[in-house]
Structure 1
Amino acid sequence: MEQDIFESVRYSAMCQDCGDELECCGVQALQDSRLRWDVESTCSACGFTVAMHGRDLPSERREQILTEHGPATLRVLSPTARSAVIMRVLRAELGTDLVNAKSVLRRVLSGDFSGTLPEMELLARKLRASGIPALSTRP
């Protein structure tokens, strides 16, 4: 069984109960071959606490993760890997059309496709499950 992959960020928001500053900790995780976004928030002023699980990663938090942790890159380790198999995985996982999948394929094969570590590791695992040697790395 492959290990879970986590990246977290801390940020502030406004408390919905008292309007003071809410301290938030968000975690993007790759668990059981699924990406998750979980947030726990606590207000030090009024004690309001909330936890949200399983939601999509908001774009501003994705950018924060990339800024704080740096991007990870998806690498295909075999120069003879079958492009059709890679594109099938990319289309299924990214929900993209054939034209965009070809563009992503070129970026993957050139080592120029990046994202958060959990995102890239999910793609690497899906590729490996399809017989394509792949890994996620940080430069």
Structure 2
Amino acid sequence: MKTQGTQFTGLCPECGAVIAYEVGQWIERGVLWWGSEGQCERCAHGWCERDHGPVTPDRVRQALLTAHGPVRLGLADVPDKLVPLLRALRTTEDLTVAEARARAGELSATGLFGTLVEREYLALGLRDRGLAVVLERAVGSTEPQGPDAAAAVQPLRNVARG
């Protein structure tokens, strides 16, 4: 099971005291999950939420990206056929055909940036369809953009064909 989490502090929405938040993402039995929890020690305001699916709430993603930095997923080589790539993108990210084609172009050109768990999840779908991928940890805490994006990453590890 691949997992990533972080803790940060903020203000309690009920009483204004400092509160500790915990957020995370993980892959469990082939499904992408996210969670968020916290409890105020002053007023007992608290929550614990957990859900799954291709979209993680932005507050969870941003906390993970700030704490750990983004990861870039790219293709190790040009696929012979586009169909396995499109199927993997449509299945893992719940995309339309047109959206999957656009993402495939982005993946082939500059790669896709996201949290470690998001990119690992997509890598699993790509490997299941015989595609070789490369994961790289981006240097810094923001997603590199444009032609200099490749210079801002360092190798994380290669994920070989399944």
The TM-score normalised by the length of structure 1 is 0.81
Which residue identity lines up with residue 53 of structure 1 in the other structure?
R
Paired residues of 2:75 and 2:111 also in contact (CA < 8 A): no
Within the alignment, does 1:14 sit opposite 2:12 as a pair? Answer: yes
Return closer, same or farther for 1:11/1:21 CA change in 2, 3 Å cut-off.
closer
Cα shift at 1:81: 4.2
Tell me whether 1:79 sits opposite 2:71 in the alignment: no
Q: C-alpha distance in 2, partners of 1:128/1:69?
A: 24
Q: What is residue 92 of structure 1 aligned with on the other side?
A: 91
Q: Is residue 38 of structure 2 the alignment partner of residue 41 of structure 1?
A: yes
Matched residue, 1:107: 106
State the 4+ residue runs in structure 1 displaced beyond 3 angstroms.
18-21, 46-50
Alpha-carbon distance change, 39 to 80 in structure 1, aligned in 2, over 3 angstroms: closer
Match of 2:160 in 1: none
- Mind listing any 5+ residue stretches in structure 1 that lack a counterpart? none
Alignment partner of 2:85: what SS?
helix
Segments of 5+ residues of structure 2 without an aligned counterpart are: 138-152, 154-162
Structure 1 residue 90: deviation in Å? 0.4
Q: What displacement does 1:46 show?
A: 3.5
Alpha-carbon separation, structure 2, partners of 1:21 and 1:11: 7
3-state SS, counterpart of residue 130 of structure 2? coil
Q: 2:67 maps to which residue?
A: 68
* Contact persistence 1:4–1:32 (CA under 8 A): no
Please, what TM-score do these two structures have when normalized by structure 2?
0.71
Q: State the Cα distance separating 1:107 from its structure 2 match.
A: 1.1
2:51 match: secondary structure = coil
State the match for 1:58 in structure 2. Answer: 57
Does residue 31 of the first structure (1) align with residue 28 of the second (2)? yes
Aligned residues: 136
Q: What residue in structure 2 maps to residue 122 of structure 1?
A: 121
Higher RCO, 1 or 2 (CA under 8 Å, sep at least 6)? Answer: 1
* Matches of 1:44 and 1:81, distance apart in 2: 57
